Every structure is written in C-alpha cells, then in structure tokens.
Chain A
C-alpha cells in the first residue's frame, strides 16, 4: 500500500513550456486534490475532484488544468508555465463519509518541487 505518490519529485521548466504532474493513490478514495505550497501562505487549493470524471476549481485555478480519467489518478497540467508557478505541489486524497458528501481525513503525497525559469 503505497498511499499517495507523485511524479516527478523535481522539475525545472523554462517559461512557456508545458508539463503534467501525476498523482496516484491506491486507497480507493473518491476525493482528490491539488495544492500549491508557497512560503508564508500555507497550502492553497488549485483544483479538486469528487469522483472519476469530475473536476472543479479551487482557490487558485488560473494557469492549471486537471483531469481524472481514472479513479486512482489525478493529473495537473501546466499548459504554459510562468515563473509565478514556481512552487511545491502537493496532491492529496480522501474518502467520503458514507452518504454525507463529507470527506474524511486527507492523505498527502510527498510533493513535487517545480522551478520555472
């Protein structure tokens, strides 16, 4: 049981390049999330998904796109990277308390450090 894994661990991009960050979870969780962590700002939600085939915008969605084609995977895409997207990206997942639409504790991946030059 690997929990939540993220690929890659570290990446350097030039402005304008594109890339996809992959998140995978093996806990059969319905909910998945992408956050970015910046110094002094805590974690901010980029996008989230409440189930396979569904995605929704979080607090800071601009410049990012996501897809959830399979329940276990949640992809975060940067179509045209900008220096402002230099950050550490965390994926998380959680399951739904039965019949409540309330998610339980979130489990986090180890993070992807992205540097955009």
Chain B
C-alpha cells in the first residue's frame, strides 16, 4: 500500500537550534515527495519537492529536505529555527491511482519553536 508516515505528532525546538521533522514513505516506483506547511487558519503552502537529482533539496524560508532512498525517508530540516516557523507540517508523496497521480498526505507534525 502506498503511504506516508510522520512518526512525531509534535516537535519542540528552541529558537536558533536546528530542527528536523521526520517523514517516511512507501510507494511503488520512483517517489515524488513534497513538504507543505500550514499556518493557523490558513491553507497549505508548498515548501519544497523532490523529483529527481540531488538528494538534498532546498526550499522556501530556509528549509531543506534530504531524500534517502535506502531508508525511504524524506526528512525536513532547517539549520536554525525561528519562532515564526511554528506551524503544522505535512509530508506528501505522489501515488498513481485510477490512471492519474494524486498526493497522499501524512498526518502532519506540529512544530513548536520556543524563544
């Protein structure tokens, strides 16, 4: 079955410290992976994606993600967290179903950055 797992409901980080939000996936074929962020009372915003090429992908707001094929992971990272990074983060994988590709989302991880 094609799926995405975000093992942590919440991640707490002190401002200025590095952060990691974990994501693992299960999909047939080559994975197309995405990270989205949701701020309170807002829709999801695209952060970054991995399609092919370099395993380290850079995205918006200083975020990056590392694709690891052997561990089937796509962890989101940032070298120095900001309080304004506090939000809900979703990992997603594109999966083929019914002849078309659709996104399968993880349950989300709430990131709390403390001053």
Contact = CB atoms under 8 A, between A and B. Distances in A.
A110 B101 contact: no
Interface residues of B, number: 23
Contact of A101 (B43, B44, B101): B101
B45 A108 contact: yes
Interface stretch (B61-69, B74-82, B103-111): B103-111
A111 B43 contact: yes
A80 interface: no
B102 A48 contact: yes
B50 to A, nearest CB: 12
A29 B105 CA distance: 21
Interface residues of A, number: 24
A77 interface: no
Contacts, number: 52
Contacts of B4: 42
What DSSP secondary structure best describes chain B's contact surface? Answer: strand
B107 A40 contact: yes
B90 A56 contact: no
A4 B46 CA distance: 13
A42 to B, nearest CB: 4
Contacts of B42: 110-111
A101 B100 contact: yes
Contacts of A45: 102-103
A45 B101 CA distance: 12
